[in-house]
């Protein structure tokens, strides 16, 4: 695979300029470019520049409004809602997360529902936003049906990622962001592009047979991680991100989508909790004693540690050259 070296500023500029060239205003382009750059910085390649062609498809088809202005409503002191009015999710998050953080810090528990958004990015930026302010963050979103419930071969669930972040004052937070599928579809697509195989149990081909060929899985169906356990968590995400927000379930998103290859309209649920108010004084020391005990186990890696280590390197990143060419041709 041929790569090209790009600075983080160059990655941001490429994403930003591509968005503005295809109809985004400054606010939408900046929010999206920031998320793309941060994904590449942290090594989350499936949510970085790899997503830009899909963003452009959604803009060009008119499915996404690149000039939308999200609006915030506080339904109660602890319930915040953002209507994205058809924007990509990062701008709606940027508008709503400060309000959620303030409500959580004041009350102890608060929720933010996003509707009318198109989510195509990682979830950890939302939960880390809360953790960086001393709060616990939980976020989840549905997508289009790509995953068969345990014991079946029919697509019903999205890859339905969920993210959790726990604050560690003075240290990087505990943070994970994972699909409830055995593998995220973006990683499947990158494996297919790069000619790699994936573990058996990741998904089935179009005929319902197990395969390690990611291209055949992309044309077939993904499986949930952990069998019925992952399937149950995927169901929970559908209910939180669609049932609780009032937005589309994955199967509804598929039925109402225009098939342009970009992200469908959907919802996201973000929940904040304040350990200082809930657990009280001494919560940091109590948790850090547990973290020290866990870290002492040989082979143990704290969730999020790899991304946070990558983040310390502010140097250039090696990006797939064909992808960069494709994106530049979109300008």
Q: Exactly one of 42, 83, 177, 187 is catalytic; which is it?
A: 187
Concatenate the DSSP letters of all residues of 219-280 into one string. TSEE-BTTTHHHHHHHHHHHIIIIITTT---HHHHHHH---SSSPPEEEEEEEEE-HHHHT-
| 46 belongs to the catalytic site | yes
| From 46, 113, 163, 172, active-site residue | 46
Spatial CB neighbours of 92, under 8 Å, sequence gap ≥ 6? 70, 82, 83, 84, 114, 116, 117
Is residue 187 among the annotated active site residues? Answer: yes
Across-strand partners of 82?
A: 72, 114
CA 268 to chain centre: 10
**How many Cα atoms are found within 13 Å in the side-chain-facing hemisphere of 84?**
30
Exactly one of 16, 44, 45, 47 is catalytic; which is it?
47
3 state SS of 214 = helix
* 292 class by beta-carbon count within 10 Å (0-12 exposed, 13-18 middle, 19+ buried): exposed
How many of the other CB atoms lie within 10 Å of CB of 296? Answer: 8
Q: Where are the alpha helices (DSSP H) in 43-144?
A: 52-61, 89-107, 124-131
Q: Can you tell me the distance from the alpha carbon of 80 to that of 266, in angstroms, rounded to the nearest whole number?
A: 17
Q: Which residues are catalytic?
A: 46-47, 187
């Amino acid at each position: 695979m041929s790569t090209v070296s790009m600075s983080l500023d160059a990655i941001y500029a490429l994403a930003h300029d591509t968005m503005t060239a295809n109809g985004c205003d400054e606010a939408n382009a900046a929010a999206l470019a920031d998320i793309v750059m941060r994904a590449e910085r942290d090594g989350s390649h499936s949510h970085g520049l790899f997503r830009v062609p899909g963003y452009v498809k959604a803009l060009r088809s008119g499915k996404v409004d690149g000039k939308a202005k999200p609006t915030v409503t506080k339904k109660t002191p602890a319930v915040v809602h953002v209507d994205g009015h058809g924007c990509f999710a990062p701008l709606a998050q940027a508008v709503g997360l400060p309000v959620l953080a303030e409500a959580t810090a004041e009350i102890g528990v608060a929720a933010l529902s996003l509707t009318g958004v198109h989510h195509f990015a990682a979830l950890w930026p939302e939960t880390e936003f809360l953790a960086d302010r001393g709060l616990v963050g939980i976020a989840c979103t549905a997508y289009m049906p790509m995953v068969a419930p345990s014991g079946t071969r029919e697509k019903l669930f999205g890859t339905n990622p969920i993210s959790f972040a726990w604050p560690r004052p003075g240290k990087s937070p505990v943070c994970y962001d994972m699909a409830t599928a055995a593998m995220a579809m973006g990683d499947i697509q990158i494996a297919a592009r790069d000619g790699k195989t994936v573990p058996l149990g990741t998904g089935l081909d179009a005929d319902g047979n197990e395969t390690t060929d990611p291209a055949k899985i992309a044309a077939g169906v993904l499986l949930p991680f952990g069998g019925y356990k992952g399937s149950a968590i995927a169901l929970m995400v559908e209910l939180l991100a669609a049932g609780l927000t009032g937005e589309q379930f994955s199967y509804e998103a598929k039925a109402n989508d225009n098939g342009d290859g970009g992200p469908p309209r959907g919802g996201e649920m973000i929940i904040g909790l304040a350990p200082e108010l809930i657990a009280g004084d001494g919560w940091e020391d109590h948790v850090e004693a547990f973290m020290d005990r866990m870290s002492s186990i040989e082979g143990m890696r704290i969730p999020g540690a790899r991304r946070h280590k990558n983040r310390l390197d502010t140097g250039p990143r090696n990006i797939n050259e064909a992808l960069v060419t494709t994106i530049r041709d979109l300008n």
